[in-house]
Every structure is written in structure tokens, then in C-alpha cells.
Amino acid sequence: MSEIILTIQGINPVDLLGEKDSKLNILKKAYPEISITSRGNNIKIVGEKKFTQKAKNTVERMVSKLKKEKSLSTEEIKSIVNGNYVMDLEEESLHSGKAIIHGKGGKAIKARTRNQKKMVQLSESNDILFAIGPAGTGKTYTAVALAVRALKNRMVKKIIMTRPAVEAGESLGFLPGDLKDKIDPYLRPLYDALNDMLPNEKIDFFTGNGTIEVAPLAFMRGRTLNNAFIILDEAQNATSTQLKMFLTRLGPSAKCIITGDLSQVDLPRHQKSGLYTALDILSDLSGVGFVKLDAEDVVRHRLVKDIIIRYNDFGERLRALKEEKKRAEEK
């Protein structure tokens, strides 16, 4: 039996443990094998040593995060418990464990999970990076942060962000307005990420003089994109021809991140996503990196991770049934 008593200093215990111990209860649920109690500035952990040590490490990481960033959400606690939060201890000294940039109000924007950290590392060592994973895993957000950092550090002269203008099961053709008005809804997520990282007046200035360009993928045809950090978002909705067109636009000083979610292809049924083909063709090409994000990287609402897991399980069962039916038909 092991007993550990941690004395919390330099922070408000309520910020760490939550109102009415709401955050402490997350720890209790994560480590049901041990007893975790709090009184004043002390946290007492009792139980088998291998579990008490894990809980101690988790609390220390929570304290470290709260001291450094002045905030600690329940989702971040769960991420720390799952071992996916990049902030800690030995990793803190690594470049990719530090803030990618500081956004509005000095907010530190950093890789929050192991695969997001991998995105940062691979982007630094490759000119083209494919970041593949489900919604909510921070693919686009991390890519935009890296692009803004490159611009601030004068590594590039402009940022180009693009998406295929493909309707996700709904027709936007009836919407009023000109072409820009109809296209903007497709590009809104890119603007949302930018709004977290740059003041509105900066965004207006940069978009006005062409330093930041947000445009549909079709607008890339015939161009040479040089001295730029380019993001192709929602690449699963690009055809093979479109992806080849995009990739062959890159100039000598370009940097590129391509994000996609192969579980959300919105192309017509007779069209195959060009992302599948690109991943296959370029899999062993030097200078091209690949990172796969999954449900463990989800940084949105706590239910998003569970929803993704349920849909993945359903997809696996469906595939198994189809294979079983196919084998039965072949007999």
C-alpha cells in the first residue's frame, strides 16, 4: 500500500480541482483502483503503488499546465489522463512542446496531443505533410498555427488556404449573393482558425493586400505557388485530378500541409476521393511526411471522441457483414 500527499502551492486549489470537486471527480473516475481525497491545499492519494504514481504524475501535470497557462478545462484533464497532452516534464524542453505561436491576448497555441506534436515535427522536416484524421482532432487548427508562425518569422511571404467547394449533402446554389457569398461558407472554418491567432484588423490588412489568401481549390489552377505556406483543407473532397493539379503548383520555396478525413467524403458516389490515390502514390517519397490522427486526438466537446469511436465501430461491423455476405455468395 502506498500513500502520497501532494501540497498544492502557487495556484488556487479550486482552479485545479473544480467547483464542488468537479475536476477531482474526473481523476477519481480515471483511477478507480485508488482513493483520492483533498483537504485545503493537500491532495491525498492512497492505493497500490503503480496506480498512485500514475495519479501523482497526472496531478503534477495538471498543476504545471495551470501554472503556465492559467487555465485547465475538464477536456484537458481527460487528455492528460489519457497521456495525450503534450506539455510535460521531459517533453517541455522540446521545440514542438512549446507554443507554436501566441494568438489573441497572448494565448499560447501549441500542440495539445501527441499526434498534433508529430504534425509540428514532421512539418518542420518535410515540405509536404499529409495530416489525416477525423473531425475535431485539430488538423486544420494546427496547420493554420504553423502557417501563421512561418509568416511571422518571415519564412514565407504569404499564406494560401484552400478547400474544394463541395457540398456536404446540401445545395447552396439557392443562397443569395454573388460567387464570393456562395463560396464563403465553405471557407469559414479557415477564417475561424485565423481569428484565434490574429487580430481582426491584421486579418483584414493581410487579406486585403494578398498576404493571406483564402480561396476554393479550383482557383489554384494555372498558378505557381512560391514563397508561401499553403494549406489544402478537406482534401478528401478533391478528385485525383484536382490533387495532382494542386501538388504540381508548388514552387521551390513553398511549404504545404494537406488535411483530410477519409470517413467524410462528400464527392458524388461515382467519384473516388483523390486523397486515397495520393496517399498511395506518395507514401515513400522523400520530403513528404504523413501523420494519422485518431479519436484520442479529439480536442472538441467530450462527446465527439465517443461519437467517432461509435461510428468507427459501426463501420467495422458493416464491413465485416459485407465481407461475410460476399464469401457466402462465392460459395
- Name the architecture of domain 2-81: 2-Layer Sandwich (3.30)
Could you tell me which of 215, 213, 263, 266 has the C-alpha nearest to residue 238?
266
- Which regions of the chain carry the CATH code 3.40.50.300? 114-300
Q: Determine the CATH number of domain 114-300.
A: 3.40.50.300
- 90-127 per-position pLDDT tens digit: 344 333 457 888 887 777 888 888 899 999 989 988 99
- 133-192 per-position pLDDT tens digit: 988 888 999 999 999 999 998 889 999 999 887 654 444 455 555 555 555 666 777 888
The pLDDT of residue 206: 93
DSSP E strands: which ranges in the chain? 2-7, 35-39, 42-47, 101-102, 108-109, 128-132, 158-163, 212-216, 228-232, 255-260, 288-292
Ordered mean pLDDT values, 10 residues apiece, the chain (331 residues):
85 89 91 91 89 86 83 83 54 54 82 88 91 90 93 92 68 51 68 88 91 88 88 92 92 91 85 92 90 80 68 76 80 69
Name the H helices within 82-178: 114-125, 139-152
What is the per-residue DSSP string for 7-19?
A: EP-SS-HHHHH-G
Q: Which amino acid is at 73?
A: S
Beta bridge partners of 162: 215, 232
The pLDDT of residue 171: 46
**What gap in Å lies between CA 306 and CA 119, rounded to an integer?**
23
The pLDDT of residue 85: 54
The pLDDT of residue 181: 57
**What gap in Å lies between CA 56 and CA 45, rounded to an integer?**
8
HSE at residue 186, side-chain half, CA atoms within 13 A, is 30
Q: Please list, residue by residue across 88-124, b when 16 or more beta carbons sit within 10 angstroms of its beta carbon and e when fewer do.
A: eeeeeeeebbebbbebeeeeebbbbbbbbbbbbbbbe
**What gap in Å lies between CA 211 and CA 2, rounded to an integer?**
58
The pLDDT of residue 184: 64
- Which regions of the chain carry the CATH code 3.30.1370.10? 2-81
